[in-house]
Each structure stands twice: as C-alpha cells, then as structure tokens.
Amino acid sequence: MDFSFPPEVEAFRTEVREFLAANLTDEMIAATHDGTIHAPELHAAMAARGWIAGPVPEELGGAGRSALESVVLNEEMQLAAAPVDAMAVSIVVASILLEHGSPHLKDSVVPRLLDGSALGCFGYSEPESGSDVAAAQTKAVRDGDEWVINGAKMWTTLAHISDYVILLTRTDPDVAKHKGLTFFLVPLDTPGIEIQPVPTMAVERSNATFYDDVRLGDEWRVGDVNGGWAVMKTALKYERGIAGGQFPSPTVIDAALDWAQTAERADGSRPIDDPTVREKLMRSLIDVEVCRGFAYHTASLAEEGVMFGVEGSMTKLFASESYKRHCREFQDMMGVDGLITHHNDDAHLGGRIEENLRHSPVTTIYGGTSEISRNLVAEGHLGLPRTR
C-alpha cells in the first residue's frame, strides 16, 4: 500500500492553500450567518480557476482534475471553514446532467453551472417522503409537448439563490414506486413555483418549494421517462462523497484547542492541562485521521476506475457521527461559555463551536441518514438480508 500523493497533487494542495489564504475572508464566513451557506465572490474566484469544473472531464467542459485533486480541494476548503455548500451541490447537479441530461441541458445549463454563473439545488425530499425517497408524490403529467408539474418539495436548501432545481417526480403512479419516477431540471423562475423559507435550529435556512401547474418542455427532462431511479442512484453516488463532509471536524478541533490553551478556569488552571481534555482532543484528532483514510481511499478507488459504493456510506457515517460527538464534547469543555452565539462580540472565535453544535445534527440526516448508511453497509458489505 502507498498513501503518498503524487507531486502534482501536493503542488495543487499548496496552490489551494495559497488561494484560500488570499481569497477566503472572515467576512465571507461571517456572512453565512444570514442563513445562506454560500460565498458568491469565492465561488466566482474558484470558477475562474476552473475549480468548480474540476472533476468534470475536459471534453465535457471541465478541468479534468483527478479524484485525488478533488479530495484535496475538498479537504483544504473544509479545513479553512470555507462555505462550500452551494458549490458542492452545483457540482453534483452538473455531474448528474452530464451523465443523464439531454443535449439541451448539457449545452445550455452545464456550462453555466461550471463557470459559476448559475447555481443548482436538490429537489428530492417531500413533506411525506424523506429516507423513502422513491415514495415521491410530486406529479409530472404529459400535456402535448409539455410536462405539467404539481407538488411540493422539502429541504430544497439554497433554492432561494439557485437558478435550477433538479426535481424528482412521479410519472406513473400505477407501477412499483421505483419504476414510476422521472427527473427534470426545473428553472426556478418558471411560473407556478413558490419558495418558502424553512428556518432551522442552526444558522442555515432551508426551503420548502411548491409547484402549481408548472409547465416545462421535454428538453428539461433528465434521463428516461420512468427511468428516474437510475438518475437517483447517480445523484446519491455523487452526493455521498460530499454531504456530511469528510472533514467537518478540524475547524471545531482548532477552536477547541485555542480555547483550551487560552481560557482560564476559576481555579487559575487552563483546560489544556486537564488530562481528560487532552484525551478528548487526541481522540478527535484520531477520528480526523480515520476520516482522512476514508477520503483518500474513496479517491484512490475512483482514480483506479473502481466506482466506490459502500465505502461512500461508511465515510459519510463515520465523519458525521464523529463530528457530532466532537461538537458535543467541545461545547461541554467550554462550559457556560460554550453557549454564547455568534451574535455576541465576545463569543469565542465568532461562536464557532456553538454554531457547529447546532449545525451538527443535520449532518447525520441529510445526504442519507446514519440509519440508511448502516442499512447499506449491512446489506452491501456484510451480506445481511434487506429489512425494508
């Protein structure tokens, strides 16, 4: 086995670090406190470098970067606490379109997603279907050359700043649920769409989106009619590498270390000299190294041309569950100061640990809950029987 990066990937890592040092500002990170996890200037600067298009093959308009370079980009951005959500989702949407989209979508939409001039968001979940995503009830019905869409989607996060939503619809209600689904890419300025904010317990806002006689041409269809499940699999394949993040913890651990070294307890001692704090810090750093192993493993498999499956679920499960634990432990370490939010000027490092604590519960839910991940590992890796 060999865990070294080729020199060109190491060079790329250096380039990313220098780019982030020059382009990512504290203001950009603080601006996400309005609820939208997106930094337009950073997104534009990355697009200008071809980094949004990074993993997409050159012949399809991308930069053709290797999987190892993609994981390094992802790692460095998360280590720097860069707001990556909109970028990550747009890359997934572009990747889905490149695999399943019509020539119209590949020509008119993908270039805009890749050059940073447009954003996309996900429209899978509904009020009555989350993990059971194939139970979607939003209807698409043919009417001459057009499709008419009616229904509602939940957790269309970023829809309020996006240009497109990739929408899972039911086109045949009379067959098994997986066999009657069709995907569309829907421009969000199409008449009949309403976007309502869904506030969350964290800083980020999500959305509910409503579709009332939304009319689309067939050129907006993605994949075959009633072939939506195949597209869904592609979507989840790309999303699992991203949702939950492989490296959500380091920014929290950095903050915890800073607190431990600078805070003074009532008895005059510092948390950093407390063996229980030191053990927690080391355990969290071990978890990060485990996440690194997973991230490099999936990238290495992709580089070899082996499409990973259950490894993506394991990565997501371990990274998000350990992140949630780290947030809990380090907020606890801060005691009452751990409660102070970013609204207060004296919050430690802009209230970073507190903010992550409130964000962390969603990471074991979105992009496939921990329970779904465990099902996939049990079935796909251990060969245990399907239970649902």
Partner 1 sequence: MRTRLTDDETAVKEVFDGFFANESPIAIVRAAEPQGHDSELWSKLAATGAPGMALPESVGGGGASLRDLAVVVESWGAHLAPVPLVEHAVATRFLHTCGSDIDSLVAGEQIATLALRDSVAGAARLVPAGAVADVVVARAGNDVVRLNEPGPGTGPRNTGDLPIADRELSSAETVGSADEWTRALDEWRALMSVAYCGLGRQALALGVDYVKDRIQFDVPVGTFQAIQHGLADAATKLEGAHLLAHRAVWALDTDQPDASRLAGMALLFGAETARFCTDRSLQYHGGYGFSEEYDIQLYHRRASAWLLQLGEPSLEYARLADDEIGPIGSSGEAA
* 137 binding partner 1? (CB under 8 A): no
Q: What is the C-alpha radius of gyration for the chain, rounded to an integer number of angstroms? A: 21
Angle at 186 between CA 182 and CA 188, to 5 degrees: 150
Q: Contact 162/198 with Cβ under 8 angstroms?
A: no
* 10 binding partner 1? (CB under 8 A): no
Residue among 91, 317, 333, 334 that touches partner 1 (CB under 8 A): 317
Residue among 64, 293, 309, 361 that touches partner 1 (CB under 8 A): 293
Least Å distance between CB 274 and partner 1?
9
Q: Contact 214/189 with Cβ under 8 angstroms?
A: no
Instruction: Choose among 274, 216, 202: nearest CA to 36.
Output: 202
Half-sphere exposure of 48 (CA within 13 A, CB side): 8
DSSP sequence for 147-209: EEEEEEEE--TTGGG-SEEEEEEES-TTS-GGGSEEEEEEETTSTTEEEEEEE-SSS-EEEEE
Residue among 222, 242, 260, 357 that touches partner 1 (CB under 8 A): 260
* 225 binding partner 1? (CB under 8 A): no
- 91 φ/ψ angles, rounded to the nearest 5 degrees: -65, -40
* 381 binding partner 1? (CB under 8 A): yes
Q: Contact 211/151 with Cβ under 8 angstroms?
A: yes
Contacts of residue 229, defined as CB under 8 A and 6 or more positions apart, other chains included, come to: 134, 178, 179, 181
Axis crossing angle, helix 352-363 with helix 310-334, rounded to the nearest 10: 150
Q: Please identify, among the stretches 43-51, 183-191, 333-341, 380-388, the one whose residues bind partner 1 according to the rule CB under 8 A.
A: 380-388
Least Å distance between CB 316 and partner 1?
10
Q: Contact 121/161 with Cβ under 8 angstroms?
A: no
Q: Please identify, among the stretches 3-11, 24-32, 53-61, 189-197, the one whose residues bind partner 1 according to the rule CB under 8 A.
A: 3-11
Q: Please identify, among the stretches 102-110, 114-122, 149-157, 255-263, the one whose residues bind partner 1 according to the rule CB under 8 A.
A: 255-263
Least Å distance between CB 73 and partner 1?
15
Least Å distance between CB 271 and partner 1?
10
* 385 binding partner 1? (CB under 8 A): yes
Residue among 318, 323, 330, 366 that touches partner 1 (CB under 8 A): 318
* 22 binding partner 1? (CB under 8 A): no
Question: Site map for partner 1, 336-375, x if CB under 8 A?
Answer: -----------------------------------x-xxx
Q: In the complex with partner 1, which residue's Cβ is closer, 4 or 266? A: 4
Residue among 282, 335, 341, 344 that touches partner 1 (CB under 8 A): 282
State the Cα–Cα distance between residues 217 and 187, nearest whole angstrom: 11
* 257 binding partner 1? (CB under 8 A): yes
Instruction: Choose among 22, 8, 5, 165: nearest CA to 82.
Output: 22
Contacts of residue 125, defined as CB under 8 A and 6 or more positions apart, other chains included, come to: 133, 153, 154, 155
* 233 binding partner 1? (CB under 8 A): no
* 122 binding partner 1? (CB under 8 A): no
Least Å distance between CB 66 and partner 1?
10
State the Cα–Cα distance between residues 168 and 153, nearest whole angstrom: 9
Q: Please identify, among the stretches 89-97, 107-115, 279-287, 357-365, the one whose residues bind partner 1 according to the rule CB under 8 A.
A: 279-287
* 281 binding partner 1? (CB under 8 A): yes
* 202 binding partner 1? (CB under 8 A): no
Residue among 30, 141, 175, 384 that touches partner 1 (CB under 8 A): 384
Task: Report how many residues bind partner 1 under the rule CB under 8 A.
Answer: 48
State the Cα–Cα distance between residues 386 and 232, nearest whole angstrom: 19
DSSP sequence for 34-89: GS----HHHHHHHHHTT-TTTTS-GGGTS----HHHHHHHHHHHHHTT---HHHHH
List the structure tokens of 17.
């670090």
Binding site for partner 1 (CB under 8 A): 1-6, 68, 257, 260-261, 270, 272-273, 275, 278-279, 281-283, 285-286, 289-291, 293-294, 296-297, 299-301, 303, 311, 314, 317-318, 371, 373-375, 377-378, 381-385, 387
